[in-house]
Chains A and B, each alone.
Chain A
Amino acid sequence: MTFKQSPSHSRWSEFLIENLIRVSGFSAIFFVALIFIFLVREGAPAFWEVSPNNLFATRWYPIFDIYGTLPLILGSVAVTVGAVAIALPLGLATAIYIGEIAPRWVREILKPLIEVLAGIPSVVLGFLGMIAVAPLVRRYLGMPTGLTAFTGAVMLAYMALPTIISVAEDAIGAVPKAYRDGAYALGATHWQTIWRVVLPAARSGIIIAVMLGIGRAIGETMAVMMVTGNAARMPLGLDAFFKPVRTMTATIAAEMGEVAQGSTHYHILFAVGIILFVITFIINAVASIVIIRGGPRRGGRLMG
């Protein structure tokens, strides 16, 4: 079959397609803006309905109008920082192995398997954490209960790993071969090449991987709700990481079903959503700045 197209027809379809693409491009921004407006509209009243003394206090007991959000914010921070601390070395090591060391056939098995890891639903991981990981944490770390921030961090690390690995692996893969050849020519060993040449050159991509991993971890709800114990206590002190915490996401998920629309509790939950949105926005903004700054100068400070 052949189509005969007049020039005007093709110009017309081009115009249509171009605009369709433009509309879908802008619609993403439009929807994000709508979501933000909605969040602010539903959540902002909380900031004048509840005094700041109450809002930033250390006790969360919403059915008695006690709305201290600090334990929730710190709970999310504790779990997220823990998750990144576990996932970053593991993810980076995996990415280096896949990108620089593994033979080709191992790589071809590992890559799709890691993508499968990304597809495991978080309830399944949460269930696994509750049944398998939490009892181990209690037994072998000698904690009163296995439902702790640490357990949550382990599950979140597992969830953030695929993101960290694939983005870091891409960044490592993007380092020009000439860099490695140059390093070998100077007599560097394989390890020296990886550590002193490839990793610094891929630095910005690796930072992005970490940022995306943080974004994945802080927004995760289901698995966290199932394994962190949801006790709204202040995670202060060194052992707090091995005690239960309550995160912002788990609080919204657990309580949103109960509240009457328009009540103070309802506004507070949206306000918690705003706080969460702002935190993830800052993380994404930092990641973008790193991309813009790091991109054109990738590898600028090789031997640093």
Chain B
Amino acid sequence: MGLRTSPLLYLIALVLFLVSNACAPVGPISGAAPEAGDAQTIQNKGSDTIVNLALAWAEAYTAQYPEVRIAVTGGGSGTGIAALINGTVDIANASRAMKPEELERARANGVEPVEHVIAADAIAVVVHPSNPVDGLTIDQLSDIFTGQVTNWREVGGEDRPIVLLSRESNSGTHIYFLEEVVRKGEKGNQALFSPDTLLMPSSEGISYEVRQNPNAIGYDGLGYVTEDQKALAVAIRAGEAYALPTIATVKDGSYPIARSLYMYTNGQPMGVIEDYLHWILSDEGQDIVRELGFVPLR
């Protein structure tokens, strides 16, 4: 070293270091309390689309039934389903139905997944608020996300390059959008997202980039669309009515990119898990769905 540094400066350095460490973010874990003696703990994991909803449910439910503890984590639908297959969670959240090969693997592991539809969700296509484009057809969206259309001018916008944003491929939203929009819901269509698509690790990453980049186009669950993003109206094909994603248009079927949200349990749920799922489907549980911007089942 050859240098001598006074202890005071080391102290200052240490304080700065501790302060900088304190800024590190924490993961989306809530309601995860250590297991008390007679408390029942439900492990709930999966879709990042559902994670805020699941957290809100868990908070409201444990406030009413303090003897139940619910640990909610995100990570993506695939992550939740993998955890259910490995037997490490009680309820897996998924924004897509389980794939046949996942069911197969679950059964091979002695797990019998049971599907529960718990809410509906619209996938909103979002752009920067200054973008003059108001609506796109599914065909146009497909051309944009496969990389055939690369400038906003080609779909009636300004002369700007298009920056594609997507969730990571472990996201149920990614797979849903791929099948219903990029492949237009056609069986045998092998189209893929353009290799230039930015894969964002979180919904927050997408909304951040959309808010500050006028070139960007992304998609995410309706519950994640904030005031400072612009949701586009979508039509199935040119000439048909465009619909904005709202609870009403999802319920009457006029908004084309909508899907069910699922929870999976191992076998028919029993005991606390059954009570919890029952409560989720009650008016009280479904009111929370509406509050968070998702579409309630009734």
- Chain A interface (Cβ within 8 Å of chain B)? 59, 61-64, 66, 71, 107-109, 111-113, 115-116, 119-121, 123-124, 127, 130-131, 135, 138, 144-147, 170, 173-174, 225-226, 229-234, 243-244, 246, 254-255, 257-261
Task: Give complex CA distance A63, B166 in Å.
Answer: 15
Task: Give complex CA distance A225, B76 in Å.
Answer: 16
* Docked-complex contact B213 and A257, CB < 8 angstroms: no
Asked if A255 meets B168 with Cβ closer than 8 Å, knowing A109-B9, A112-B10, A124-B24, the reply is yes
Q: Can you report 18 residue pairs joining A to B where beta carbons are below 8 Å apart?
A: A61-B192, A61-B193, A108-B3, A116-B17, A119-B17, A121-B21, A147-B198, A170-B2, A229-B199, A230-B198, A231-B197, A232-B199, A234-B195, A243-B196, A254-B201, A255-B168, A255-B169, A257-B170
CB interface residues, B 51-97, toward A, < 8 Å:
75-76, 78-79, 82, 85-86
Indicate whether B105 reaches chain A with its CB closer than 8 angstroms.
yes
| Chain A, Cβ-Cβ closest to B11 | A112
| Chain B, Cβ-Cβ closest to A225 | B201
| Chain B, Cβ-Cβ closest to A258 | B170
Asked if A121 meets B24 with Cβ closer than 8 Å, knowing A107-B3, A112-B10, the reply is yes
- Chain B interface (Cβ within 8 Å of chain A)? 1-6, 9-10, 12-13, 16-17, 20-21, 23-25, 75-76, 78-79, 82, 85-86, 102, 105, 160-163, 168-170, 175, 192-193, 195-201, 205, 208-209, 212-213, 215-216
Distance (whole angstroms) from the CB of B217 to the closest CB of chain A: 11
Task: Give complex CA distance A147, B209 in Å.
Answer: 9
* Docked-complex contact B79 and A257, CB < 8 angstroms: yes
Asked if A173 meets B170 with Cβ closer than 8 Å, knowing A59-B195, A64-B192, A257-B75, the reply is no
Distance (whole angstroms) from the CB of A258 to the closest CB of chain B: 3
Task: Give complex CA distance A234, B161 in Å.
Answer: 19
Q: Which residues of B contact A116 (CB under 8 A)?
A: 13, 16-17, 20
Q: Which residues of A contact B82 (CB under 8 A)?
A: 257-260
Task: Tell which of B4, B195, B200 has the most Cβ of chain A within 10 Å.
Answer: B195
Task: Give complex CA distance A71, B2 in Å.
Answer: 44
